[in-house]
Structure 1
Amino acid sequence: MTSTDGISARADRPQEALTLTRVRLGAGGPLGALRVEDGRITAVGEDVSGDGAAVLDLDGRTVLPGLWDAHVHLGQWASVRHRLDLAGPKSARAVAEAVRGHADGLPDSEVLVGYGFRDGLWSDVPHKDLLDVVSPARPVALVSGDLHAAWLNSAALALVGRGGHPTGLLREGDAFEAVSALPEVPVEVLDRWVAEACAAAAARGVTGVVDFHFADNIADWTRRTATRTPAVRVDATVYPRYLEAAVAAGLRTGDVLPGTGGLVRVGPLKLFTDGSLNTRTALCCDPYPGLEGTEEAYGIAETAYDDLVRLMRRAAEHGIEPAVHAIGDRANTVALDAFAEVGCRGRIEHAQLLTAADLPRFAALGVTAGVQPAHATDDRDVADRHWAGRTGRAFAYGDLLAAGARLEFGSDAPVSPLDPWLGIAAAVTRTDDERPAWHPEQRVPLDAALTASARGRAAIRVGDVADLVVVDVDPPKADAATLRAMPVHATLLGGRFTHGPGPGTS
């Protein structure tokens, strides 16, 4: 069952005891059974019979701890599912032609919004003139695949108050501000799209997400759960502009938000040190090829170090853990230095390029590496060009694991699709096409990848919340293609089905 209405109705029912029989207990585990009561696992083994429990025969399928996506921009991902997909075109001119074809089917007054262009390997350059030719009157706003750039035509630039911009290609803060100034879909529409995206995530075995959407996530999720029950648990992040409100309300990371049925918690404070690889704004120790001698040859520092420390300390003093975006090697050193100075635990998001000296600091400082393995396969060619000679320490998940770091996997959706199996497969194989593994020394063992995709839950244990996923193929027996497209039979959230057949159905 994947419809939002069905989820809401099922969640409103009293919790029933449930026994899952003929099920493999964990990846490569033994066949057995497990019992769920009051939303928790109460028995695991060969005989877990009890009175009054509904029984579901799983015919030898494998049950795993429920999967999390530890880095999602959920509102953007929900919106992108309804936007022009620009992941395919390989040049600026090809994107412009895609815009031309899509614009013909839209109402005259609608802004054309596209997502997913990646210009890091293009031979031509995005420019407003290309879009003006194919759409002279309709505003066109295209967001890059890494979310760190926006390409607008003249009509869209005028709409967001930037009519004098020379190229129409905006980066970092300018891009974020321009996109946020575009007309928004009605709140009720976005909330419906988000609910649909959560249901789709549950169909891939997801039981929780950390929502890094650029918004007041506390307010948004309080509103959403007042009218419908989400298909996943949510950790709602806080951005700096909302930090003082969170402090005043006494909110701490991990607190359950009132009125959300226990499904939404306060997440971390999101901060930025740099930009991204594709936009060539990730802050690095070495210059980008072709940019030597320019002001931004090494990337961009988004937050001054003193400001970073001040915000981290303010949050940590009030129980809110920092989550610091850092992609370049210099940015990661800065972020780790700030954690050392403040003396708090927290997260570094992405950690894409690291120096050897920084690898052991994650474990030593108690900093979680929130990484997105699908980026390693998506960006291997861009990294080979712009981080030439350094890619042995790019997306270095194997080295992080060996250094004792805690890894949590996510997608950064919409940068990559919200599908944990794509990340698991990328971490294990380091390729997503016919090419050999890219830096195979950085591969992660399957059991470690599954654990990192379940926020540290490595096994089915008595006493755990019954957030579970049942898959048709035992992961150790799956080849790379099957692992990426893993067939998910059922997903349970606190013992309730959010996807798949319930008891008594085939």
Structure 2
Amino acid sequence: MRIALVNVHYPLDEDVDSIVFSMGKGVIYAGREEGVRRFEPEEVLDVDQRVVIPGLEDAHMHLYSTALSFGRLDLRNVQSIEDLKEKVRVAVSSAGSGEWIIGRGWDQDKMEEKRYPTRYDIDEVAPNNPVILVRVCGHAAVLNTRALEALGLLEARSEEEKFIQVEDGKPTGVVFEELVSYALSRVPDPPLERVKKLAKKLLQEYLSYGVVSLHSMSVSRVELEVVKSLQDSGEFIQEYRAYVDYSSFLEGVHREFPSLVAGVKIFADGSFGAGTAALRERYSDSETTGNLLLDSGKIVTVASNAIREGLEVAVHAIGDRALEEVLGAASRIGGKLRIEHASLTPPDILETIAELKPRVSVQPHFILSDTWIADRLGDRTKWVYAYRSLLATGAGVLASSDSPVEPINPWLGIYAALNRGKPEGLPIYRYTWYESLNFREALTIYSASTKQRSLVVLNVRDLPHSREEFQRVRAEKILLVDKVVSL
């Protein structure tokens, strides 16, 4: 079946006012309306100058944890430790005795106290429930005393000391990197049917924004089971590519779900917010240079094993020190690595990226969330989230949310890529105004892999400008190669 869309506003090409979409093939014509008739469409839709775009893609997100976040504490807007404690107190009041309380989203740099919360803060409002509150980046968390006891972390062992904050010989409850993952892995999983219900809600919200493709990172077996179940029942509409965590790869989970697993996700460093992204020179607001979790040799070993299994390797690398190691590994194995984040890219790093041209997934909304980035990096801020420079290298740039770290709404990411914090008065704009993208460029990195395979009719006739206008953008109809979705 062929469907013609006429009277369209197509922002990728001003000369296009009509598009013919073939079920099974995708876009087969984009041009003037007089050229439509020769394709003999079975259906012609006049969209009345509504904006029509390729389907959007979230190239780095975490489906399982984002779905669970719908039923957990959202801490992204807390302004103080007292606010944080109040949210926990309310959650405890409706929880059963001993029930785990999980939350995510706090940022110590946005709280009045400008410090990490500790177990002693959380103990005041949750003395009998184990609590884990994950920082917005996912690379740090605070656990209360009951959680530390349950996880055997009240007495830190030597191999854990670099991942746990200790004062006066006692853990404060703040943990980093591997211990965050360990803590969350020990929390009892909710019933599978509950997870499926939350996942369906998440997928529907993605569709409402016009997102038709998801790349899910650090995927576990349980997520794959949920996705497979939803696909079998016809409830998972989006294209899905899983990048499993390394432990799941070693267990051979990719062989059990070959149609779902595209690659393996590993970590070379941490995050700017937690001070664990690996830098070549120390942070401007502390004495640390962060944590390098994998050097190029170890990355080559892991990547070689995955590539032999026909899988792509996605490496989390935020700081320039980590990127140096990842790119060194990529040069040794023929460039077959995908880089997640690539947040700090000084000129020599960009030159190497231009030589190797790896795929790079970026997260534009970080520009707005990391309000403190200039304090953390100083003059190096001029090299952060450098999307125009990355595009100039010829690398394959893919845009994403990193949800639940950032909102899943891609239109807020596009807004950030266009404006770079100028309307909000953020310092990053002063350092990096020249990295701003135009609408076509921003839309392209959010639809890099979907351009010919899907179309979305939006609820607007003119391109949005203000943040409020971007927030209101929604999909009205989505054309996929195997179905049409009306919203």
Say whether the fold is shared (TM-score over 0.5). yes
Which residue of structure 1 lines up, in the alignment, with residue 267 of structure 2? 272
For 1:493, which of 475, 480, 483 is the aligned residue? Answer: 480
Uncovered stretches (5+) of structure 2, i.e. residues with no partner: 157-170
* Cα distance between partner residues in 1 of 2:358 and 2:331: 10
CA distance in 1, matches of 2:253, 2:193: 28
Equivalent residues of 1:69, 1:411 under 8 A apart: yes
Checking the alignment, whether the CA contact within 8 Å between 1:329 and 1:354 is kept in structure 2 is: yes
Instruction: State the shift of 1:452 in Å.
Output: 0.5
Residues 1:469 and 2:456 aligned together:
yes
The answer as to 2:44 corresponding to 1:64 is: no
Q: Give the whole-Å Cα distance in 1 for the aligned partners of 2:255 and 2:128.
A: 46
SS of equivalent residue, structure 2 residue 209: coil
Query: SS state of the match for residue 41, structure 1?
Result: strand
3-state SS of 1:331 partner: helix
Residue in 2 that maps onto 1:20: 5
Q: Alignment identity in percent?
A: 29
CA contact (8 A) 2:49 2:461 kept: no
Moved more, 42-51 or 121-130: 42-51
- AA matched with 1:429: N
1:450 aligns with 2:436: no
Q: 1:180 aligns with which of 164, 180, 185?
A: 185
* Residue aligning to 1:200: 205
- Residue 427 (1) aligns with residue 417 (2): yes
Query: Displacement of 1:106 after TM fit?
Result: 3.0
Determine if contact 1:62/1:470 at 8 Å carries over to the other structure.
Answer: yes
Distance 1:277 1:220 in 2: 32
Letter matched to residue 441 of structure 1: Y
**Tell me, what secondary structure is at the counterpart of 1:78?**
helix
Task: Give SS of 2:401's match.
Answer: coil
- Alignment of 1:285 with 2:271, yes or no, is no
Report the secondary structure of 1:388's partner residue. Answer: helix
1:96 to 62, 85, 92: 85
Deviation at 1:219, TM superposition (A): 4.7
| Equivalent residue letter for 1:38 | G
Contact in 2 for aligned 1:247/1:318 (Cα 8 Å): no
Query: Counterparts of 1:162 and 1:227 in 2: how far apart (Å)?
Result: 42
Q: CA deviation at 1:364?
A: 1.5
CA distance in 2, matches of 1:234, 1:377: 27
Question: For the Cα contact (< 8 Å) 1:195–1:231, is it kept in 2?
Answer: no
CA separation in 2, counterparts of 1:163 and 1:475? 57
* Residues 139-218 of structure 1: pairs in structure 2 closer than 5 A: 139-164=130-155, 166-216=171-221, 218=224
Alignment match, 1:383: 373
| Equivalent pair of 1:369/1:405 in contact (CA under 8 Å) | yes
Give the secondary-structure state (helix, strand or coil) at the position aligned to 2:49.
strand
1:402-450 deviation line (CA, Å, top 9, x unaligned): 2333211000000101111111111111027532635211112221111
Deviates more, 1:54-63 or 1:469-478: 469-478
CA contact (8 A) 2:59 2:215 kept: yes
State the alpha-carbon separation in 2 of the partners of residues 478 and 377 from structure 1: 16
Q: 1:318 aligns with which of 309, 316, 319?
A: 309
**Cα displacement (A) at 1:266:** 2.9
CA contact (8 A) 1:75 1:213 kept: no
- The answer on 1:412 being equivalent to 2:387 is no
Aligned residue type for 1:283: A
- Structure number with the bigger relative contact order (C-alpha 8 A, sep ≥ 6) is 1
1:86 pairs, out of 54, 72, 75, with: 75
Instruction: Find the aligned partners of 1:478 and 1:432 in 2 and give their Cα distance.
Output: 13
* Pair 1:77 & 2:78 matched: no
Q: Which amino acid aligns with 1:40?
A: G
Going from structure 1 to structure 2, the CA distance change for 1:93 and 1:433 (only over 3 Å counts) comes to farther
Name the CA shift for 1:235/1:84 in 2 (closer, same or farther; >3 Å). Answer: same
- AA in 1 matched with 2:460: V
Q: How many residues align?
A: 463
Q: Distance in 1 between matches of 2:278 and 2:252?
A: 30
RMSD of the TM alignment (CA)?
2.5
Q: 1:43 deviation in Å?
A: 4.0
Letter in 2 for 1:115: R
